[in-house]
Structure 1
Amino acid sequence: MNFALILFVALVITGAIWLVDALTAGRNRPHDAKLPILVDYSKSFFPVILLVFVLRSFLVEPFKIPSGSMLPTLKVGDFILVNKYAYGIRLPILNKKIIEIGQPSHGDVMVFRYPKDPSLDYIKRVIGLPGDTVEYVDKRLVINGKPVELAAAGEYSYVGNGLNYITGQTWHEQLGNHDHIAMTQYGIPPVIPYQVAGDFPYRDNCTYNDQGFKCKVPSGYYFMMGDNRDASNDSRYWGFVPDANIVGRAFMIWWNFGEFSRIGHFIE
């Protein structure tokens, strides 16, 4: 469901009804006269819809985390806020960038439209920038030939609604300016080659084997991975994320019905 499009249509309809009435029957209507019900609703809802549309399109948009691919950073049921202007101002609906403000950096947690189905929003961490070479071999991440700094952070386990019991090893990981926790799971390989899609753009930039993969990120694209490294459906399987698919940078957990202590937690 394209909620931005629905908001836009509602905005146009309510605004048009209010404007047409103001230019026709409303011009001669007594100040204290009762408005037709359709005009009354349109006049009441138009400012609210406009405010929500502007805030959601250009400033901040809420999302809910649906899966465990970003564990332990984000849990199923976390409601997060996404900065819509961090990577530039984009026209709503068309998603065309009109003002350049910033670019994604290594380690950013980013929301984007899934390349194989742009109606779906995904959230992962930025691992590779345009021109980078990303390797994940024997569960060790290497960027441009340099292993990413790691420090053991202990075991981690998680049980969520509808999820199997998850357990693994966590690591302090330094990506750019982000010091966060990533996770590897026992008994799961770094990549499952037969699950890799064979038709994504620049597929020839990647090589795979039982030990892992190596990908060269093309210009204008990004390589994304989940913090739950061995249980994430990400760029290793379906390819690179084009700049045009970027939605924004996740920066805060604003609600979680099951764990109130997570509310207000900023995302590293």
Structure 2
Amino acid sequence: MFGSKKEVVKHPMFSKEWFKYELWSWTYIILIVFGFRSTFIDHYHIPSGSLLPTNAIGDSIVVSKMSYGFKVPFSEFFNPMYIGGEQKAPARGDIVVFEYPVDPSILFVKRTVGLPGDTIEVFDNTLIINGQEITKTKIEDDAKYRELYDEKPGQDPKDMVFYEQQLGDKKFVIGENPTFFRHLGQDKITVPEGHVFVMGDNRDYSSDSRVWGFVPIKNIRGRAFMVWMSLVYPWSQEKFHFRPSRIGTQL
């Protein structure tokens, strides 16, 4: 009258059928999890201080894989394909995770400064884009930024000076060390099509496009938008830190 209930078949543990059932169950779970990470959202751990004071060493960041196009799951391991067209260029000021052009097996995190067709020049920590100097405003109450730095050979946190700067609709803070005799610069160049120019917010302690050149847009994995954890592991070469106050920080 009410219909019959569908029986659930239970296989004896460690039987051939049980192993087959468990194998397929875990295969589905793994494909779903990694497919989600490949197409929608992923996370990365910040191992260095090139983006200080925006990202502290040990920050784990959430990265949107959809910001520049909807990628076919797992295609990044072969030839990245995007549904409905090609991958879009990031917006000026975006923090992006990308494959290091010199060694694509390594992932880097930097801020997008120059877009295709832009002219870029950096002299004495002054950034000039398309002939216009990007202004910066000195921050006087800088204790919360300075405390993110650890003292290292040639890098004393007391020497750091912090400025607020804006690129596009992104406002952020950069760090500079005025005690340096010569700051890392960049002669006037034009960003080629299909590439971007990236820099670290920790301007005097960042290996970026000023050193190794442009980043192909196809190398970009996604846009970082939030810190979900901040922990420097005890076994790391860096000083141990756990910063719960950084959890939820927007980038």
Normalised by the length of structure 1, the TM-score is 0.76
Is residue 2:39 matched to residue 1:61?
Answer: no
Shift of 1:183: 1.3
- 1 CA distance for matches of 2:213 and 2:26? 42
The equivalent residue for 1:132 is 118
Gaps of at least 5 residues in structure 2 are 1-7, 232-241
Deviation at 1:230, TM superposition (A): 1.1
Q: Please report how far the alpha carbon of residue 256 of structure 1 lies from its aligned counterpart in structure 2 after TM superposition.
A: 1.2
C-alpha contact 2:186 2:210 (8 A) present in aligned 1: no
Q: Separation in 2 of the partners of 1:79 and 1:61?
A: 10
Which residue of the partner structure matches residue 216 of structure 1?
190
Please show how residues 109-258 of structure 1 align to structure 2 within 5 Å: 109-154=95-140, 155=142, 156-157=145-146, 158-160=148-150, 165-166=156-157, 167-188=159-180, 189-191=182-184, 212-257=186-231, 258=242
One-letter amino acid of the structure 2 residue matched with residue 237 of structure 1: V
Is the partner of 1:92 in helix, strand or coil?
Answer: helix
For residue 209 of structure 2, what is the amino acid of its counterpart? S
Secondary structure, counterpart of 1:266 in structure 2? coil
Task: Specify the alignment match of 2:235 in structure 1.
Answer: none
Structure ranking higher in helix proportion: 1
Shift of 1:161: 9.1
Q: CA deviation at 1:46?
A: 1.6
Tell me which of 56, 66, 87 is aligned to 1:75: 56
SS of structure 2 residue aligned to 1:104: coil
Amino acid across the alignment from 2:173: I
Structure 1 residue 44 displacement after superposition? 3.0
**In 1, distance between residues paired with 2:223 and 2:89?**
10
Distance in 2 separating the partners of 1:54 and 1:62: 14
SS in structure 2 at match of 1:73: coil
Aligned-pair identity (%): 38
Q: Structure 1 CA distance, aligned partners of 2:213 and 2:247?
A: 33
Q: Assess, with a 3 A threshold, how the Cα gap between structure 1 residues 161 and 117 changes in structure 2: closer, same or farther.
A: farther
Partner Cα distance (1:56, 1:149) in 2? 37
> What is the root-mean-square deviation of aligned Cα atoms in Å?
2.1
Supply the AA of the counterpart residue of 1:113: E
Q: 1:17-38 CA deviation, whole Å, 9 max, x = no partner?
A: xxxxxxxxxxxxx933324254
Look up the equivalent residue of 1:98 and give its one-letter code. Answer: Y
Distance, in Å, in 1 between the alignment partners of 2:135 and 2:226 is: 24
CA distance in 2: counterparts of 1:161 and 1:240, whole angstroms: 31
Structure 1 consecutive aligned stretches of length 4 or more whose deviation exceeds 4 Å:
161-164
Aligned twin of 2:10: 32
Alignment match, 1:20 = none
Q: Aligned partners of 1:97, 1:227: CA distance in 2, in Å? A: 31
Distance 2:133 2:121 in 1: 9
User: Which range is displaced more, 95-104 or 115-124?
Assistant: 95-104
**Amino acid of the residue matched to residue 169 of structure 1?**
V
1:98 aligns to what? Answer: 82
1:266 has 2:229 as partner: no
8 Å Cα contact 1:106/1:129 also seen in 2: yes
Decide whether the 8 Å contact of 1:141 with 1:148 is kept in 2.
yes
Counterpart CA distance in 1 for 2:247 and 2:187 is 36
Question: What residue identity is the alignment partner of 2:10?
Answer: D
Q: Is the 8 A contact 2:166 2:172 kept in 1?
A: yes
Superposition TM-score, scaled by structure 2 size: 0.80
Q: Distance in 2 between matches of 1:52 and 1:149?
A: 43
Aligned-pair distance for 1:53?
A: 1.1
Structure 1 unmatched ranges of 5 or more: 1-29, 192-210
